[in-house]
């Protein structure tokens, strides 16, 4: 029975959001991808997202829609009213919550989710959970209805030359073949040497050249040496980005209270940091950003 369900799931996978080439013989088939399986899935997903965006458009400002269609991301300074932003920082400072920690190379990420339960007595954080512009903007950029996950995230890069593995998030990459949205409301200034988010404008669109590049990647993805590439999060080198005709990336060095929302089916990365990015003592990190994602 278990084998039957596994086979049945593999057969249905082309019409789902499954993305791993290495774990699915159908999605990873070189023959099928030469015939255009992967690019057909990408075109179909793009079309479905565009239809949903047309329906959601009245709930999203024209500025958001125009910025997204042109460049694949939205960037807004002073997103929250100053009074609310200060209250959010104050509430975060006193919020005691156990976080999940992940190390990738010399980078440490600490994160915990926010919900109605742990924000019960924190009205400013509750207002983020219900923020209409943010929630509908995320849905629009993702091209998908639903309730976004909102978390507090701290990212700390360590200057550790002895570390044998590097942070895979510093490679230019896409998250998956279909639109998906991530957003950051930065609680403090992030400088260019502090590992800011970076994005290649326009790389969210399935252009002719982009589809040809993805088709080539899909043919050999299942046996790719990079584990994340083989699982559907394609890595791309700067030379290929240039060859595909994209311009200079946006480097998200930001002031505090800046919002960035991006479609992470476009090329993006965490810029490598040449120094430690702890704000306080290493065992007492300050919140880096609120991370809504859809």
231-245 pLDDT tens trace? 999 999 999 999 999
pLDDT of residue 293: 63
Counting the structural domains of the chain, the total is: 1
pLDDT at position 251? 96
From the list 250, 67, 262, the residue with the least C-alpha distance to 179 is: 262
- Mean local confidence (pLDDT), 280-293: 50
Query: 69-78, 163-172, 257-266: lowest mean pLDDT where?
Result: 163-172
Crossing angle of the two packed helices 132-142 and 62-71, in degrees rounded to 10: 30
Percentage of residues of the chain with pLDDT beyond 90: 72
10 three-state secondary structure: helix
Q: What does the alpha-carbon distance between residue 113 and residue 291 come to, in Å, rounded to a whole number? A: 9
Least confident interval from 33-47, 149-163, 192-206: 149-163
User: Is 3 part of any domain?
Assistant: no
Q: Is the pLDDT of residue 164 over 70?
A: no
Query: What's the token pair of residue 147?
Result: 């309730």
- Tell me, yes or no, whether 7 lies in a domain: no
DSSP H helix total and E strand total for the chain:
10, 10
Contact 56, 68 (CB under 8 A): no
What digits encode the pLDDT tens for the residues 56-107?
999 999 999 999 999 999 999 999 999 999 999 999 988 878 888 888 888 8
Q: What is the pLDDT of residue 274?
A: 82
pLDDT at 5: 44
As a whole number, mean pLDDT of residues 5-23 equals 73
Does 86 map to a domain? yes
Q: What is the pLDDT of residue 282?
A: 40
Kindly list the strands in the beta sheet with 197-199, ordered across the sheet, starting from the edge strand earlier in the chain.
250-251, 197-199, 268-270
- The answer to the question of residue 198 being in a domain is yes
Is residue 177 a part of any domain in this protein?
Answer: yes
Distance (Å) of CA 194 to CA 16, 156, 252, 269 = 37, 9, 10, 13
Give me the residue label for tokens 């699982």: 231
Q: Is the confidence at residue 163, as pLDDT, over 80?
A: no
Q: Is pLDDT above 60 for 111?
A: yes
Looking at residue 6, its pLDDT comes to 54
Classify residue 224: in a domain, yes or no. yes
The per-residue pLDDT for range 115-145, each reduced to its tens digit, is 988 898 999 999 999 999 999 999 999 999 9
The CATH number assigned to the domain holding 208 equals: 2.60.120
Kindly state whether residue 70 falls inside one of the protein's structural domains: yes
What percent of the chain has a predicted confidence (pLDDT) above 70?
Answer: 88
What is the domain range of residue 74? 21-293
Q: Residue 284's pLDDT is what? A: 42
In a domain, 180, yes or no: yes
| pTM tops 0.85, yes or no | yes
Please state, rounded to an integer, the average pLDDT across all residues of the chain: 89
Mean pLDDT over 276-280 rounds to: 63
């Amino acid at each position: 029975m278990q084998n039957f369900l596994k086979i049945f799931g593999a057969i249905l996978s082309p019409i789902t959001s499954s993305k791993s080439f290495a774990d699915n013989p159908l999605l990873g088939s070189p023959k099928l991808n030469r015939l255009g399986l992967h690019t057909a899935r990408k075109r179909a997903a793009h079309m479905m997202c565009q239809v949903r965006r047309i329906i959601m458009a009245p709930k999203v400002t024209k500025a958001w829609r125009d910025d997204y269609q042109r460049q694949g991301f939205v960037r807004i300074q002073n997103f929250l009213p100053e009074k609310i932003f200060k209250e959010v920082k104050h509430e975060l400072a006193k919020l005691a919550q156990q976080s999940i920690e992940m190390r990738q190379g010399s980078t440490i990420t600490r994160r915990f989710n926010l919900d109605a339960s742990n924000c019960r007595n924190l009205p400013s954080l509750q207002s983020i959970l219900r923020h209409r512009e943010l929630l509908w903007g995320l849905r629009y950029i993702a091209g998908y209805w639903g309730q976004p996950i909102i978390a507090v995230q701290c990212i700390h890069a360590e200057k550790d030359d002895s570390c044998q593995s590097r942070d895979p998030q510093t490679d230019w990459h896409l998250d998956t073949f279909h639109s998906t949205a991530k957003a950051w409301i930065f609680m403090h200034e992030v400088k260019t040497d502090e590992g800011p988010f970076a994005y290649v404008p326009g790389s969210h669109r399935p252009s002719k050249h982009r589809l040809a590049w993805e088709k080539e990647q899909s043919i050999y993805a299942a046996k790719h040496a990079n584990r994340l590439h083989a699982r559907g999060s394609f890595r791309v080198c700067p030379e290929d980005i240039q060859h595909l005709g994209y311009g200079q990336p946006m480097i998200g060095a930001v002031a505090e209270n800046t919002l960035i929302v991006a479609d992470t089916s476009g090329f993006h990365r965490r810029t490598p940091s040449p120094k430690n990015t702890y704000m306080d003592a290493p065992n007492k990190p300050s919140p880096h950003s609120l991370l809504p994602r859809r």
